[in-house]
A and B are shown apart, each in its own frame.
Chain A
Amino acid sequence: MAPRPRSRLHVPHPPARPGDPVDFSYVRTSPAGEMPRPEVAAPVATLAPLANELVRVLGDDHRAVGAWDPHLEPDVLQVGLRHMLLTRLFDERMQRTQRQGKISFYMRSLGEEAVSVAQAMALRPGDMLFPSYRNQGIYMVRGRPLVDLMCQLLSNTRDMCKGRQLPVMYHWKDGNIFSISGNLATQFPQAVGWAMAAAIKGQDDVACAWIGEGSSAEGDFHSAMIFAEVYNAPVILNVVNNQWAISTFQGFAGGEQATFAARGPGYGIPGIRVDGNDFLAVYAVTQWAAERARTGSGPTLIEHVTYRAAAHSTSDDPSRYRPKDEYERWPLGDPVERLKSHLVALGEWSEERHAALAKELEEHVTKSWKEATKFGTLTEGPKLDPDLMFEDVYKEMPPHLEKQRAQLRAELAAAAAERGAERG
């Protein structure tokens, strides 16, 4: 008689670690154009396939096919390509800048540019965005000058955060982009609250939030889903499944037995699994979800299947935990290359135009950097006034902070006097 099976702790294993051959056989894909596009008001119960298959528009032949093709004009696609390329070149330059010691920290979005750019383009300027630290593309779309982003990275005298935040933790009230928290997943239920307020106030703006698949393990994910469902909130909740959360692969966030999108129907919310490197598909599902939310049919959960091509941050070395050549073999390709090839296939783009665009954007980044560093860097130039440290803790400064501010002023004056005496 066979022994009775016993429980044994299951430990998820990524298919490949450093030195192993890359294996992405676990990533289930569907052919482009295969998924039907339901009506935006379709009942959740009819939407289950969307959560398990993969919405794709761009085929291997670089043509757009199927019901999800958003039929965008070539000039819109060119704008999308421009924003994605700018995001990538900006990231590259800021990475190098960090290596030179000019900024303290940086996080790139390499390989995931389509998620932020296509989504921000598919939304209206009045829609409120709750980004994570890997959504810089939304700033390109909404038109925040690079100089402003760079000044934040430099913590210099023009830093929007007044020196209080780590690099990349931007915010932009006028652009309707919420302040990024270093604490994972916290903004997910906050976006739902913003959307509830929009509904209470009778606005037709929607909220849109992003978290990584790793962060979807936090309890805040559950809170977001349950509030979104209960109040039918006009919100788009995105899980960016870029396969890795620092050193742990998506199986450690619950991706082994079910897709992330499939959690949606469990809460009574549509879940859509989309090819996150397919600009057109991301645009189309966002447009669908936004229309659904705006017209009173409530929230959508979108899982973007993509790959974090860069290190987690400038403090991370991914060669310690994953094969070096994974990105080259990622089955969904590169978002910039795919949109570019699509435009070329349409006869609306060329290698020459691409090279010229890259050169123009490089120069734009260089020029912006020169401008930004005039306002100071970590090591040189003008410095923020330390008094600022005590402001904005409260709307009005309480007496104990006034006292501490005076104490710091005296401390700094004494230090300056000492330095003067030494030189003197």
Chain B
Amino acid sequence: MPKMNMIQALNSAMDIMLGRDPSVVVMGEDVGYFGGVFRTTDGLQRKYGEQRVLDTPISEQGIVAAAIGMGVNGLRPVAEIQFADYIYPGYDQIVSELARIRYRSASEFHAPVTIRTPCGGGIRGGQTHSQSPEAIFAHVSGVKTVMPSNPYDAKGMLIAAIEDDDPVIFFEPKRVYNGPFDGNPDQPAVPWSAHPKGEVPEGYYTVPLGKAEIVRPGSACTIVAYGTMVYVAEAAARAQGVDAEIVDLRTIAPLDVDTLFTSVKKTGRCLIVHEATRFGGFGGELSATIQEECFWNLEAPIARVAGWDTPYPHAFEWEYFPGQRRVGAALKALMEAA
């Protein structure tokens, strides 16, 4: 099977969908001629032409709004926001419009828009190239919010997102574009070609939205993570020698509660890990949901590890990032509790 990194896998998904479905268009700042600042749309304009792979003016509000209009008129836009940190000018169009068109028009109108955007830190990008704003989209009814963690899922989920008739906010954890990252920046980078999830079929396939994946079965506790943090959690559990069951959420909303409940009922302990700030973060929703259903199975309070509640600081990247040490300490405390 071909080896792909996450960028190639995403590119392949768009390539396939542009080829299969004439209503698919790809658009965003620098995505056309240049192929995107991360090269995710490289070659697509050459292959499918300028009417289907569009450079846009620098206006995130305009990008989202135009994608909505195109979607309402029968196209299936895949819009890129260059960094998740720049999505906010488009937030009103997402929250007030994209998310509600179906509801307010009783399904007479809808806009099947996919918004791709790189998120997360670990690339020395400072506070405007490192954010993880998934919780403020998960909070909005009417959009689906997803974050794959590897090339295989990225491709299958992007195809599923494009085919989905509801809008999807598709977060791409850019720290793992080129390889899984265990949170230790001093270790040599591992490429996706050395990882089973870097094996990606050439052709069409989907990975369903709304389905989590157990990436490591275990019995001692459940670790719920997504994006880059899946690999940090795996490494931390290994280092602690804890037989953790690791759930890669993949879709943040709507949530795959069945997988979560089954796992936590089995293990009796749960640690939630995300890179985004803790206060009001998605970990709070996960914790409440799991607690409501699994309270009588829990042997210890549900624990959370997250980014500190500050903007993402440039100089303190690794003090900020919830790395192996922080996850490991929380895991140890969780296993020692009660």
Contact = CB atoms under 8 A, between A and B. Distances in A.
Interface stretch (B149-157, B218-226, B256-264, B315-323): B315-323
Interface in B79-99: 85-86, 88-89
B138 interface: no
A258 interface: no
Contact of B58 (A17, A166, A253, A315): A253
A393 B310 contact: yes
A412 B320 CA distance: 11
Interface of B: 29-30, 33-34, 37, 50-51, 54-62, 85-86, 88-89, 124-129, 278-279, 308-311, 313-316, 319-320, 325-326, 329
A182 B129 contact: yes
Interface string A391-424: 0010000001100100110011011000000000
A198 to B, nearest CB: 27
Contact of A11 (B51, B88, B309, B313): B51
Interface in A155-179: 155, 159, 161-167, 169
A200 B60 CA distance: 33
A218 B61 CA distance: 8
A246 B315 contact: no
Given A219-B61, A400-B279, A163 B314 contact: yes
Interface string A309-350: 000000100001100000000000000000000000000000
Contact of B57 (A105, A181, A254, A401): A254
A215, A388, A411 interface centre (most CB from chain B within 10 Å): A411
Contacts of A408: 308, 319
Interface of A: 9, 11, 17, 104-105, 155, 159, 161-167, 169, 181-184, 214-215, 217-220, 245-248, 252-254, 315, 320-321, 384, 386, 388-390, 393, 400-401, 404, 407-408, 411-412, 414-415
B241 to A, nearest CB: 16
Contact of A411 (B56, B127, B329): B329
B34 A9 contact: no
Given A166-B128, A182-B129, A401-B310, A252 B34 contact: no
A404 B59 contact: no
Contacts of B34: 246-248, 320-321
Contacts of A155: 314-315
A403 to B, nearest CB: 10
B314 A166 contact: yes
A181 B128 CA distance: 8
Contacts of A245: 58
Nearest to A166: B126
Given A11-B54, A163-B314, A253-B58, A248 B30 contact: yes
B58 A389 contact: no
Given A184-B58, A248-B29, A104 B128 contact: no
Contact of B33 (A219, A321, A415): A321
Contact of A105 (B33, B124, B279): B124
Contact of A164 (B56, B57, B127): B127
B310 A411 contact: no
B313 A164 contact: yes
Contacts of B278: 404
A182 to B, nearest CB: 3
Contact of A183 (B50, B54, B85): B85
Contact of A386 (B61, B128, B316): B316
- What is the interface of chain B mostly: helix, strand, loop, or mixed? loop
Given A161-B314, A183-B86, A401-B309, 17 more contacts: A11-B55, A105-B124, A165-B127, A166-B126, A182-B126, A218-B61, A219-B59, A246-B29, A247-B30, A321-B34, A384-B316, A388-B316, A390-B308, A393-B309, A393-B310, A400-B279, A411-B325
Given A320-B34, A389-B320, A411-B329, A404 B309 contact: yes
A252 B57 contact: yes
A183 B88 CA distance: 10
A11 B25 CA distance: 14
A4 B29 CA distance: 33
Given A166-B125, A183-B86, A246 B320 contact: no
Nearest to A182: B128
A411 B332 CA distance: 13
Contacts of A401: 308-310
B55 A411 contact: no
> Quick one: which of B56, B61, B316 has the most chain A CB within 10 A?
B316
Contacts of B30: 246-248
Nearest to A218: B59
Contacts of A389: 308, 310, 313, 316, 319-320
B177 to A, nearest CB: 14
A215 B58 contact: yes
B86 A384 contact: no
A252 B37 CA distance: 17
Given A105-B124, A389-B313, A214 B58 contact: yes
A248 B315 contact: no
A63 B55 CA distance: 42
A253 B128 CA distance: 22
A11 B68 CA distance: 19
5 contacts: A165-B126, A217-B59, A247-B33, A389-B313, A390-B308
Given A183-B86, A183-B128, A218 B316 contact: no
A215 B314 CA distance: 24
Contacts of A219: 59, 61-62, 89
A412 B318 CA distance: 11
Contacts of A321: 33-34
Contacts of B311: 164, 393
A321 B313 CA distance: 32
Contacts of B128: 166, 181-183
Contact of B325 (A163, A390, A404, A415): A415
B325 A414 contact: yes
Given A248-B29, A404-B309, A411-B325, A164 B59 contact: no
